[in-house]
Structure 1
Amino acid sequence: MMIEKLRNCFDEMVVYKDLKRSNFFSALSLPSFMRDWLLKKFEDENGHFDSEELVRFIRTYLPRKDDWTSIKNQVVIEHERVKFLAKVSVDIDIRTSVVSFALPDFGLTSKDTIIEDSVWQICKEDLVRGRETWGMVEIGYRPPDDYDMEFSKNKAKGANRGKIKLTAFKTFCPYTIDIDYYKDARREFTTTEWLDVLLGAVDYNASGYLGDEEKKLTMLTRLLPFVEKRLNLIELAPKGTGKSYLFGRVSRFGWLSSGGVMSRAKMFYDQNKRVEGLVSGNDFITLDEVQTISFPDVDEMRAALKGYLESGIFTVGNYEGTAEAAVILCGNIKKETMDEDGFANMFEELPSVFHESALIERFHGFIKGWNIPRMNDDLKIAGWALNSEYFCSIMHELRDDMSYRAIVDELVEVPEAADTRDTEAVKRIATAYLKLLFPQVRSADDISAREFKRYCLDRARKMRDTIKYQLGILDVEYRGKDIPAFSVRPDLEEVV
């Protein structure tokens, strides 16, 4: 019954996913948004598709990094135009007004490319939407002889070089996202049904949770940064609970960094290249397996993080920038260190950069990843579900909707002398829950006080509670300081 309702309400935005059964998709290692885009393109109304036709499309339009030399040969030597799916970033030179592009997955930088004005006028609306944009690109070659005389005079500076040119671009998302329709469609589902819809949208099988609502909700908590700007979270969980998959393979709007080195230049601003870092082009930055990440200059990174987590502003040298990306720390935790009461130091294995209370306090909430079951085949979707690419695009658009925060401000009673950071953290998390679970709410009257308290406010308080407990372990100054007793405004409470 729920599946019929889902298909009736969302029509073409529903695809048949079968991740439980081993098939050729698993061998392709495609991110969910790409896989669902392909399914939407090739599936019939019964969820069937011609695998040979799909494979031919993939071989033609989804080149591997190893194919780049062959593509360059076609474009530069054979003077052919080549079309394929890729992630594109654009650069506009302030001094010359020349527009160029980069294909980061293939190592093609903007110094070797050009977007001519005639093409730019057609494609610019799609290409300027974000730092990087997925789409169908078509590239060709502009030999040195094709340059204007103005550029030809400056051979010493390399202006008269051949360049790869963008000849066409079609956005990866060819349909218009109708937020209002999505909000109205939510009214057709109960809260319990909607939890299952959300799980399916990110490739999880709701029945695999055996009706355990708490486990479902903890799993969905990972989506809060998808829908709310600068919602900074820490998740510690046992191995194998799917952290890397959800943050790294489901949405095209985020960035997952696993291990290695993370510098201030990479994350915020590179003074040498004069390029903004990861926070400027993504909805969220997830530092996965954070215990294995090294920071070249701990003090430098700590100072940059504190400023950014507090205000969304970062300053590097004389450069000041703003961004809206959430920062999420994900790490594995030993069973003996999991502590529901908060008396064990769960952050002791984090890198030293995070061993400071002033920095930890700026993270809004904590996800108890041990409430999420270890990934198994029964938790993989096998049936009709929302297209991941469509769903994540909706989440991305909802980040700009400020009406939900106004509703939370109206609903929440803030105690006197409440700490400002606690208030902001609880309200920001509650707002994200409201967007995720109750997108149909357009005023405080559209949600019952009981539901808001149960699914939004109480969960936000608990997530902030854990941060406060850990702060008390980390720094005696915070010991014994519980978060204020936020509640639903008394005049809005229902008589039970």
Structure 2
Amino acid sequence: MDTLDEKLLGVFEGKVVRKDLVHRIKKGTNVPTFVLEFLLARYCASEDPKEIQEGLEAVLATLQDNYVRADEANAAQSKVATKGKHRFIDKVHVNYIEKEKRHWAALENFNSQRVAINEKFYRDNDRLLEGGIWAEITIGYNEIEDDDYTFYVEDLRPIQLSRFDFDGYAAGRSKFSRDEWLDIVLRSVGLEPTKLSTRLKFHFILRLSCLVEPNYNFIELGPRGTGKSYFFSEFSPYSTLVSGGQATTPILFYNNARKRTGLVGFWDVVAFDEVAGIQIKDPTTIQIMKDFMANGRFSRGAEVIADASLAFNGNIDHSIEQLVNSTEHDLFIPMPREFDLAIMDRFAAYLPGWEMPKNSSDFLTGNYGFITDYLAEAFHHQFSHTNRYEEVNKRIRLGQNVEGRDEKGIKKTVCAFLKILHPDGPPSDSEFDEYVAYAVEARRRVKEQMNKRKPDDEFARINLSYFASDGKEVVVFCPESRNATATQHPFRHSLNSGTKEDPEAKTRKAQTRTVVEQPSEVAVMVQPEIVSPKELELSEKHYTIFYG
């Protein structure tokens, strides 16, 4: 336990857990992380090695006896019928059935949709009615044959937070410096920050940005085994991971037959794993995706508005150096062909996944961090109830090459960093400059690839810049492509010859032209030559046309 651990335990008592214990149990079980952390907080709240070992054994015994697996539903129901009641760990929903004018509980792995529940449970736990929560739940067996239910809820103890105090969270944050808080966030997701550079730390924060900023479109491409999908499959109960396969309009956006909104209406984040394997057969899906990524709404027989962020993850199987120096390929090479420039232009940020470290125990922390569910709730609260865009808009100054979607993407990235790292108030000028510089780079990486693909100069203004707090303009480059001529000055197609124009030749041509700045700033107009009608002579011409 270091100084930061002691400080964290003192400020957020009861909301932190030792992350190395989570790693030790997680490897042998297929249980959500926040369930493990709930049990560890109960049985392993000690620094004594002997007590910790006994606590770990108690956690494993509890999982063995109480955690319901989906393929064991029949055995679990039989156990309740035989014993009269039993305690389980399961995800519980409460649904109001209009025709019956009453509430019923539904247990996911226990596989029962009609469990009687007392009003006090869902009155005290709001989230039971809003997507459900994981809980320790005691199920009793009803022996009265005339009743229309077999099981009932005798007791319920939430594992996930039933209510979240954001004011307390923000007040606790104010007791830490920015760098301390950055390390706490990283330890909370299981990483040891002392082994990461500031740039790598920012990369991990960017991965989390979708969880705090609504309608934020993000892409990460890189090698396998860097944990791209973990943040969306394990960290937050408010995100869902779509793994390859066919992406359809009814699943993602709206099902006309059922009059039901798709995934974007139910999750904070919809993440696509292995983006290269996404199959989109219906062209309308792409068009709806473009509309949704642009402004969070679309029309599908009905106007639908949703806040979900879209995250795209994929693997690059090529050398980054070769790609940035290639005249034919770019860093969007794994993207499916249906993802055109309009889709790419809607990405606020491109995270360079090739810079991320491979998953290794060397980078895992043995220190304390927030219980995953607590931090996920903090992020969800800010996703739903906090808007920092106007704060950023008043403070940020961007260069003239920053165009419409560049500006929006950069500002939303900065908003996400403020929500994660400064939930209690504004950052210092130097910290704000750091976030703006990083956000500009992440957006430039998107624009550079589009500029390579476009045969004209629509996206040629890639030298994005910002004005630092000292008033100086700073042009931001991507480190992988800064010296790559093929990326900075890509080939262009010539309309006359049908060939590509050499960027170096283009540069030489530009150097031979002399540009003179007029002090008076008066533009000189060149008048086109006008030919008098009198000078025109009509002549008769004959043409021979051959048939066959």
TM bucket, shorter chain: 0.7 to 0.9
Does 2:88 correspond to 1:84?
Answer: yes
Counterpart position of 1:225: 210
Cα distance change on mapping 1:80 and 1:487 into 2, 3 Å: farther
* C-alpha displacement of 1:303: 1.8
Counterpart position of 1:313: 297
Provide, for residues 388-444 of structure 1, a one-character-per-residue CA deviation record: whole Å limited to 9, x for no partner.
Answer: 221111111122343522321221135679633222211111000111122221xxx
Q: Relative to structure 2, which stretch is displaced further, 66-75 or 227-236?
A: 66-75
Question: What amino acid sits opposite 1:38 in the alignment?
Answer: L
2:286 to 302, 305, 318: 302
CA distance in 1, matches of 2:87, 2:369: 30
Counterpart position of 2:362: 378
Question: What amino acid sits opposite 2:447 in the alignment?
Answer: K
3-state SS in 2 of match to 1:321: strand
Provide, for residues 271-302 of structure 1, a one-character-per-residue CA deviation record: whole Å limited to 9, x for no partner.
Answer: 3444432222221111111212333x241321
2:76 to 43, 46, 71: 71
- Contact 1:90–1:100 (CA<8 Å) still a contact in 2? yes
Provide, for residues 176-221 of structure 1, a one-character-per-residue CA deviation record: whole Å limited to 9, x for no partner.
Answer: 4332232233333333322221110001112332xx2111211221
Cα distance change on mapping 1:381 and 1:121 into 2, 3 Å: closer
Does 2:11 correspond to 1:6?
Answer: no
- Contact 1:227–1:396 (CA<8 Å) still a contact in 2? yes
1:29-40 equivalent positions in 2, closer than 5 A: 29-40=30-41
CA distance in 2, matches of 1:488, 1:31: 43
CA distance in 1, matches of 2:151, 2:245: 32
CA distance in 1, matches of 2:57, 2:283: 54
* C-alpha displacement of 1:169: 4.5
Counterpart position of 1:466: 445
- Contact 1:123–1:168 (CA<8 Å) still a contact in 2? no
CA distance in 2, matches of 1:421, 1:17: 39
Cα distance change on mapping 1:414 and 1:393 into 2, 3 Å: same
Q: CA RMSD in A?
A: 3.2
3-state SS in 1 of match to 2:312: strand
- Contact 1:361–1:467 (CA<8 Å) still a contact in 2? yes
- Contact 1:37–1:389 (CA<8 Å) still a contact in 2? no
Cα distance change on mapping 1:55 and 1:121 into 2, 3 Å: closer
* C-alpha displacement of 1:226: 1.4
CA distance in 2, matches of 1:166, 1:301: 42
Counterpart position of 2:160: 173
Counterpart position of 2:131: 131
Counterpart position of 1:280: 265
Question: What amino acid sits opposite 2:250 in the alignment?
Answer: A
TM-score, length of structure 2 as denominator length = 0.75
Structure 2, unaligned stretches of length 5 or more?
Answer: 474-548
1:481 to 444, 451, 461: 461
Cα distance change on mapping 1:481 and 1:61 into 2, 3 Å: same
CA distance in 1, matches of 2:161, 2:401: 50
- Contact 2:105–2:116 (CA<8 Å) still a contact in 1? yes
Question: What amino acid sits opposite 1:57 in the alignment?
Answer: T
CA distance in 2, matches of 1:88, 1:214: 40
Provide, for residues 94-132 of structure 1, a one-character-per-residue CA deviation record: whole Å limited to 9, x for no partner.
Answer: 566554454445665xxx52656746763672323x334
CA distance in 1, matches of 2:433, 2:427: 10
* C-alpha displacement of 1:462: 1.1
The structure having more radius of gyration, on CA atoms, is: 2
3-state SS in 2 of match to 1:63: coil
3-state SS in 2 of match to 1:257: strand
Question: What amino acid sits opposite 1:73 in the alignment?
Answer: S
- Contact 2:125–2:163 (CA<8 Å) still a contact in 1? no
TM-score, length of structure 1 as denominator length = 0.83
CA distance in 2, matches of 1:168, 1:56: 21
- Contact 1:415–1:484 (CA<8 Å) still a contact in 2? yes
- Contact 1:119–1:167 (CA<8 Å) still a contact in 2? no
Does 2:187 correspond to 1:185?
Answer: no
Structure 1, unaligned stretches of length 5 or more?
Answer: 148-161
Question: What amino acid sits opposite 2:55 in the alignment?
Answer: D
CA distance in 1, matches of 2:122, 2:240: 29
CA distance in 1, matches of 2:66, 2:25: 17
Counterpart position of 1:157: none
- Contact 1:99–1:115 (CA<8 Å) still a contact in 2? yes
2:390 to 368, 391, 406: 406
* C-alpha displacement of 1:92: 4.1
3-state SS in 1 of match to 2:451: helix
Counterpart position of 2:522: none
Structure with greater contact order relative to length (CA < 8 Å, sep ≥ 6): 1
Provide, for residues 228-269 of structure 1, a one-character-per-residue CA deviation record: whole Å limited to 9, x for no partner.
Answer: 112110100111111122221122221112223332222223
3-state SS in 2 of match to 1:243: coil
- Contact 1:342–1:466 (CA<8 Å) still a contact in 2? no
Aligned-pair identity in percent equals 24
CA distance in 2, matches of 1:342, 1:405: 37
- Contact 2:106–2:114 (CA<8 Å) still a contact in 1? yes
3-state SS in 2 of match to 1:440: coil
- Contact 2:402–2:464 (CA<8 Å) still a contact in 1? yes
Cα distance change on mapping 1:104 and 1:466 into 2, 3 Å: farther
CA distance in 2, matches of 1:479, 1:314: 26
3-state SS in 1 of match to 2:319: helix
Provide, for residues 285-333 of structure 1, a one-character-per-residue CA deviation record: whole Å limited to 9, x for no partner.
Answer: 11111212333x24132122112112222433x3433222211000011
CA distance in 2, matches of 1:139, 1:315: 44
3-state SS in 2 of match to 1:230: coil
CA distance in 2, matches of 1:107, 1:261: 27
CA distance in 2, matches of 1:184, 1:346: 42
Counterpart position of 2:406: 422
- Contact 1:306–1:358 (CA<8 Å) still a contact in 2? yes
Counterpart position of 1:200: 187
Cα distance change on mapping 1:71 and 1:43 into 2, 3 Å: same
CA distance in 1, matches of 2:107, 2:472: 53
Cα distance change on mapping 1:342 and 1:489 into 2, 3 Å: farther
3-state SS in 2 of match to 1:328: strand
- Contact 1:413–1:487 (CA<8 Å) still a contact in 2? yes
CA distance in 2, matches of 1:375, 1:29: 18
* C-alpha displacement of 1:368: 0.8
Question: What amino acid sits opposite 2:441 in the alignment?
Answer: K
CA distance in 1, matches of 2:326, 2:85: 60
CA distance in 1, matches of 2:173, 2:162: 20
1:242-253 equivalent positions in 2, closer than 5 A: 242-253=227-238
3-state SS in 1 of match to 2:229: helix
- Contact 2:211–2:269 (CA<8 Å) still a contact in 1? yes
CA distance in 2, matches of 1:462, 1:180: 33
